[in-house]
């Protein structure tokens, strides 16, 4: 009889085995920092109408043209696994009449997203993102506050030597003027462009600025600068953003070819890098999208936001010197106490003891298998990374006590059964308090 095939993850998808605690740590820090700035968490569906991304992200974008997971449901409606988070939030803003809320609306989100592209280190077809959106304020101070918040979040994770790369892609009229100038500049070099850039030359020339092809980057060295085509209002906005970043002591540089990958961006666009990480040091990016909600059928409402690829962010966090020590310290404070009932008739008591520990905020695990030798059960407690073990059996029931064993120095003592959870809590060192 042929052996049954073992299943594996679909190409480009991956299990969070071993890394899940680090993902949780990063998400906890995001919630902690973003809430300080008045952001509330939202969760949107994984599946949306395809038209939302066609109109929101842009039909000529790489995401819509090549990377979306799109399918028809049983009623023939075209649906798409969400490839990014801003368009769904904009849809939710309209659907739930968030324009009637106090403005601006500040929300953040995290979860899985999907793009069909070549898997590589830190990049998957199902990936995770952390993002935030500020909707309803057109002013430059919102741009600056968002960037300051992001820098604080990254510093909390342990990043150093952070720098903001900044550009303005202007308003619609600015981009029209600049797109025409860029087409005229690149027209004589059309045959030297790759297939993707030739297509973009017709549909969205700005996207060529984002090319990673060395020859194309060389051709762009002398290309006209988008900054030179900024209209008065866009120019003033960008100047104010830069001045306030200086006031906030935020290191930044002008990246005149920074355009981001989605069509809805206007005015300020940015990415944050860490010079300590070497090549491919961009950690996240984002920008302003003042026309997106109107494009989706709503009123003209400005917005700005960002997205962080969480999979790659976790990989980068683990490369930071001292990260393992710091993360282990976080985990150390949550090390469980193991409760071992000695004898089958005392398993119920063991469960009660564990429940008392948990009620006191102390993580606890139970070893219920009374048929296994005590030595084997103590080894299992060590595998759970328990420092403390509570033992309870016939002798302890008679004396009204429990045995508390400390793995770190191999000592043990008896403590009263009544109120034992408080006594255990007092024994845990301050840096191990849950």
CB count, 10 Å around CB of 142?
Answer: 21
Confidence of residue 153 (pLDDT cuts 50, 70, 90): very high
pLDDT at 140: 93
Structure tokens at 174: 């600015």
Residue 432 has pLDDT above 50, yes or no: no
- Is the CB of residue 113 less than 8 Å from the CB of residue 124? no
pLDDT at 60: 66
Residues pairing with 389 in the sheet: 338, 405
CA 3/CA 6 separation, integer angstroms: 9
d(CA 151, CA 252): 12
CB atoms within 10 A of CB 158: 17
- 167 pLDDT above the threshold of 80: yes
- What pLDDT is stored for residue 262 in this prediction? 63
**What separation in angstroms does the CA of 309 have from each of 124, 159, 275, 315?**
10, 15, 18, 10
Q: What is the dihedral of CA 398, 401, 403, 404, to 10 degrees?
A: 170
In 327-382, at which residue ranges do the beta strands (DSSP E only) sit? 337-341, 364-367
Q: Show the DSSP H helices in 73-122 as ranges.
A: 86-95
Q: Which pLDDT band, with edges at 50, 70 and 90, does 241 fall under? A: very high
Q: Identify which of 372, 373, 378, 369 has the alpha carbon closest to the alpha carbon of residue 350.
A: 369
- The pLDDT, as a whole number, for residue 434 is 42
pLDDT at position 201 is: 82
381 pLDDT tier (thresholds 50, 70, 90): confident
Mean pLDDT of 277-304: 84
Edge-to-edge order in the sheet of strand 337-341: 364-367, 337-341, 388-392, 401-406, 411-416
- What pLDDT does residue 433 have? 44
Percent of the chain with pLDDT strictly greater than 90: 35
Report whether pLDDT(279) > 60: no
Q: How much is the pLDDT for 329?
A: 57
pTM of structure = 0.81
- What is the pLDDT, as a whole number, of residue 419? 86
The residue with tokens 């949306």 is 48
The residues spanned by each domain of the chain are: 20-171+231-325, 333-432
Widest distance between CA atoms in the chain = 94
* Residues found in the chain: 434
402 or 131, higher pLDDT: 131
At residue 148, the pLDDT reads 94
Name which of 337, 304, 347, 338 is nearest 104 in CA terms. 304
The domain made up of 333-432 has a fold known as Rossmann fold (3.40.50)
Report, as an integer, the average pLDDT of 256-270: 78
For range 162-174, the mean pLDDT:
87
For the record, the structure tokens of 228 come out as 């030179």
Q: Is the pLDDT of residue 429 over 60?
A: no
Per-residue pLDDT tens digits for 82-92: 999 999 999 99
Q: Is the pLDDT of residue 1 over 60?
A: yes
Interval 10-46: pLDDT, tens: 898 888 887 888 898 899 999 999 999 999 999 999 9
pLDDT single digits (tens) 204-217 = 787 788 777 888 88
CATH homologous superfamily of 20-171+231-325 equals Bira Bifunctional Protein; Domain 2 (3.30.930.10)
- What contacts 104, CB < 8 A, 6 or more positions away? 134, 135, 136, 137, 142
Residue 276: predicted pLDDT: 59
pLDDT at position 324 over 60: no
**Rounded distance, CA 208 to CA 196, Å?**
9
Average pLDDT for the chain:
85
pLDDT at 385 over 60: yes
φ/ψ region of 135 (left if φ > 0, alpha if ψ in -120 to 50, else beta) reads beta
Mean pLDDT of 291-315: 91
Quick: pLDDT tens for 120-150.
Answer: 776 789 999 999 999 999 999 999 999 999 9
User: 257 vs 33, which has greater pLDDT?
Assistant: 33
Task: Give the C-alpha separation, 302 to 268, whole Å.
Answer: 12
Determine whether 67 is exposed, middle or buried from the number of CB atoms within 10 Å of its CB (0-12, 13-18, 19+).
middle
Q: Distances from the Cα of 161 to the Cαs of 181, 310, 316, 379, in angstroms?
A: 36, 20, 14, 44
């Amino acid at each position: 009889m042929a052996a049954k095939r073992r299943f594996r993850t679909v190409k480009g998808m991956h299990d969070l085995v071993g890394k899940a605690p680090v993902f949780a740590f990063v998400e906890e820090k995001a919630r902690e920092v973003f809430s300080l700035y008045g952001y509330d968490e939202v969760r949107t569906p994984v599946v949306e109408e395809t038209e939302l991304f066609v109109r929101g992200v842009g039909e000529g974008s790489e995401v819509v043209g090549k990377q979306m997971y799109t399918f028809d449901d049983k009623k023939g409606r075209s649906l798409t696994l969400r490839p990014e988070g801003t368009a769904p939030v904009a849809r939710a803003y309209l659907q739930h009449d968030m324009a009637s809320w106090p403005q601006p609306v500040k929300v953040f989100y995290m979860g899985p997203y999907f793009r069909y592209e070549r898997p590589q280190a830190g990049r998957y077809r199902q990936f995770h993102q952390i993002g935030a959106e500020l909707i309803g304020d057109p002013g430059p101070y919102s741009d600056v506050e968002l960037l300051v918040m992001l820098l604080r979040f990254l510093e909390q994770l342990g990043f150093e030597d952070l720098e903001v790369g900044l550009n303005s892609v202007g308003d619609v009229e600015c981009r029209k003027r600049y797109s025409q100038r860029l087409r005229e500049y690149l027209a004589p070099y059309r045959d030297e462009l790759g297939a993707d850039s030739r297509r973009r030359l017709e549909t969205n020339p700005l996207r060529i600025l984002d090319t990673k092809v060395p020859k194309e980057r060389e051709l762009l060295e002398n290309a006209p600068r988008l900054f030179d085509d900024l209209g008065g209002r866009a120019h003033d906005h960008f100047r104010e953003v830069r001045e306030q970043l200086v006031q906030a002591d935020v290191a930044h540089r002008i990246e005149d070819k920074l355009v981001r990958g989605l069509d809805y961006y206007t005015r300020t666009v940015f990415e944050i890098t860490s010079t300590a990480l070497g090549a491919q040091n961009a950690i996240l990016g984002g920008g302003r999208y003042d026309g997106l909600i109107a494009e989706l059928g709503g009123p003209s409402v400005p917005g700005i936001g960002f997205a962080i690829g969480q999979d790659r962010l976790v990989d980068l966090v683990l490369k930071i010197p001292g990260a393992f020590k710091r993360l282990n310290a976080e985990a150390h404070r949550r090390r469980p106490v193991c409760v071992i009932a000695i004898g089958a008739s005392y398993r119920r008591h063991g469960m009660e003891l564990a429940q008392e520990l948990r009620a006191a905020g102390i993580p606890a695990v139970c070893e219920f298998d009374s048929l296994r030798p005590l030595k084997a059960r103590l080894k299992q407690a060590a595998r759970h990374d328990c420092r403390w073990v509570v033992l309870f059996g016939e002798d302890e029931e008679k004396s009204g006590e429990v045995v508390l064993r400390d793995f770190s120095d191999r000592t043990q003592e008896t403590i009263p059964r009544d109120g034992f959870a408080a006594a255990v809590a007092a024994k845990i060192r301050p840096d191990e308090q849950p």
